[in-house]
Amino acid sequence: MMEINIPIGIKGLQETTVGPENTASRYGSGLVEVFATPAMIALMEKTCHESIAKYLPEGHGSVGANVNVNHVKPTPVGMKVQCESELEEVEGRKLVFKVTAWDEKGEIGSGMHTRYIIDTARFMAKLR
């Protein structure tokens, strides 16, 4: 694996608007029309992935391996949700991020997310 230098402390920011497609009732994670916990986690993963993408050589990507977050407040359909990630640790191919999500009324979730850098072709070949 070639050496990849990703600076600790880099931040990412992503935003989405809660729609019917990312509610708890649509995901099957609950029965209410609010932003689903799996949707919040997906936004957190996307934020982390996008924040490091430009540092990865061609043919490389990252995959999520661990998520440890709390989802503490509901967000209704129509409200914007933002997520910020901050890279806290780099250990070889392992990347550890702090993640925080908030809506127009305040923080809705936070925690840690671990990703691993992969050689995409090699990773997919192992699956066959």
- CA–CA separation, 48 and 90 (whole Å): 13
The active-site residue out of 23, 45, 49, 113 is 45
Cα distances from 73 to residues 15, 30, 105, 110, in angstroms, run 17, 14, 10, 11
The active-site residue out of 16, 33, 37, 120 is 37
* Active site annotation includes 16: no
| Single-letter code of the amino acid located at 36 | A
* Active site annotation includes 37: yes
The active-site residue out of 60, 71, 84, 113 is 71
Residues 63, 118 contacting (CB under 8 angstroms): yes
Number of H helices, E strands in the chain: 3, 5
* Active site annotation includes 45: yes
Task: Give strand pairing partners of 119.
Answer: 60
- Is residue 78 left, alpha or beta, with left meaning phi > 0 and alpha meaning psi from -120 to 50? left
Residues with active-site annotation: 37, 45, 71
